[in-house]
Structure formats: C-alpha cells, structure tokens
Amino acid sequence: MKRSIYTFSLLILSIPAFAEEKAAERIGSGNIYQDLLFIALASLVFILLLVSLVLLKVFKGISKELLNPTPLVHEPVKVLEFEEWLELKKSKPSLLNKILGLKPISEEHELLLEHKFDDISELDNPTPAWFMWLFYGTIAIGAMYLFTYHGGGGGKLQEEEYAIEMEEAAAEKAAYLANAANLIDENTVEESKEASVISSGQAIFNSNCVACHGDKAQGVVGPNLTDEYWLHGGKINNVFKTIKYGIPDKGMISWEKTLSPKQISEVANYIKSLKGTNPANPKAPQGEKEG
C-alpha cells in the first residue's frame, strides 16, 4: 500500500513538468484547439490521480479497521420521564437568555428582593455587562464627536458640508454646461440674439473671417454676408454647416478642427445678426434670395 501511495505521489508530481514540456513543444504550432484539449486532458488525469490517492487512503483505513476492529464501548443510557425532561429543559437557559444575561424562569425566585409593594415583588436582574459597555461606548463616541466637531475643529459641521457640496455642484454644473455647449451640431444648433453670443461670435469673426469676407462682412474674396442672398442656405443650420465643413471647391476651408462647436454656433449667430446692416462697398449679391 505504501508503495502504491509513493508511486501515485510521484506520478502527480511529474504531471506539471510533463505538461510544461508538452506546452513548450506546442508553442508556435498555431493550433489553439489542440493546446486547449491537451490542457483539459492533463487536468483530468491530475484530478483522477488525486481522487485515486484519496480512495487508496480510505481503503487503507477500512482494511485496517476490518483487520483490527475498534471495540465498541456501551455506555449506560438514562431514560428520563417527561416531568424530569421538562424540569431539565426549564433549568437550562435559552440562547436568548444567555445573550441577555438572564436566568431561566425556574430560577427567578432566587432573584427576589426583600421589599414588596402592593404584594408585588421586584427581581434583582441587572442590565447585562455587554449592554452596559455598549452604553458607555456610545457616551465615549458622543464625547469624541463633540470634541472633534465643536471643540477641536477637526470635522466639518452640516453648514460647512452644505457649502462645500454646493460649490462642488456649481463646478460640476459649469463643467456639464461647457461640455453640453460643445455637443451642438448642424442639426441641433439654434439661433440666438443674446448679446454675449453675438459679441463672442464677432470676436471669432474678426480673428478668422475678415480676410475673405471683409471687416464688415461686405464680401472680398468670399460673398457678402449682410444681404438676403445665400450660396448654401441662409438658415442658422445651413450657416453652421458651411462654417463647420467648408466648401473646398470654392476656397472655403473647414473650421471643424480649429473652432469648437460652441464657437461655430456663436460666429454663425453673429453672421445671422448682420442681415440688413448695409456696409459700404458691398460685394454684388450671390446665390439665391432668402427671406
């Protein structure tokens, strides 16, 4: 039996080395399914050998017990009457009583105090120690809280936490609005007459568009942007699209990678606000008339 156990042990120990050797041979073979099948079979063999080793140990124990049986010791069993069993059950405290530190009802007569009032007795049944320690612990925690938040200044009171949370919320709101402003495209852009939008659009126009459209948008190389005629549509979404993608065939470059969607929306709204400004020396109308 010992030889069998040693043999199986050596086989089990040799499996990892054998698996590593075979795995090294298969690296670069390109057949992943064969590798997975080999790993699965190696694992199955390992499990079978392990189970066999356990069974051998069990069989060894059974064989030893059969050859030299352990003598059975007969202990006398006391048969209890129902009244005895009931009394024994009452005398044993329940799990709840153990947790609460209480005695069973059958022993409460030992806890009676001497004095009575109106023929009513009182039990000397103090609060369990664990409950008292819990109570003292809450007092200690309360004292530490009072010192930390109202004495030492180590914590923030509700008003301070509220102010901090409002500041964080305002910062998150500003970040969201800034990000949301850049989600505009030619389908969602809206016309705006707000002074801040027009002012920002004018600054962008003066920095990037004057060379082709003139300082008053009267038209130079590019068309006049103040009249009622448009080459590629005069609605806000058409203007936005023209600025964003450009018209390469006519020399209008794409501003998509230079300006953010918010900036394109602002300059488009500025251009829309120029209608009817009648600058000096305007370029001749081009395109179709739009109301």
Q: Mind listing the pLDDT tens digit for each residue in 7-65?
A: 555 555 555 555 555 544 544 444 566 677 778 888 888 898 888 888 988 888 888 88
- The overall pTM is greater than 0.75: no
**195-289 has which CATH code?**
1.10.760.10
Please report, as a single letter, which amino acid is at residue 164: I
pLDDT of residue 210: 92
Rounded to an integer, what distance in angstroms lies between the CA atom of residue 238 and that of residue 253?
Answer: 15
Rounded to an integer, what distance in angstroms lies between the CA atom of residue 289 and that of residue 237?
Answer: 17
Q: Please give the C-alpha separations between residue 34 and each of 23, 30, 40, 285, in angstroms, as whole numbers.
A: 11, 9, 10, 75
User: Which segments of the chain have a pLDDT < 50?
Assistant: 23-24, 26-30
pLDDT of residue 272: 93
Strand pairing partners for 119? Answer: none
Task: Return the sign of the alpha-carbon dihedral for residues 242, 247, 251, 256.
Answer: positive
pLDDT of residue 197: 92
Q: Which residue has the tokens 């399914």?
A: 33
Domains in the chain: boundaries: 2-67, 82-123, 125-155, 157-183, 195-289
* DSSP code, position 279: -
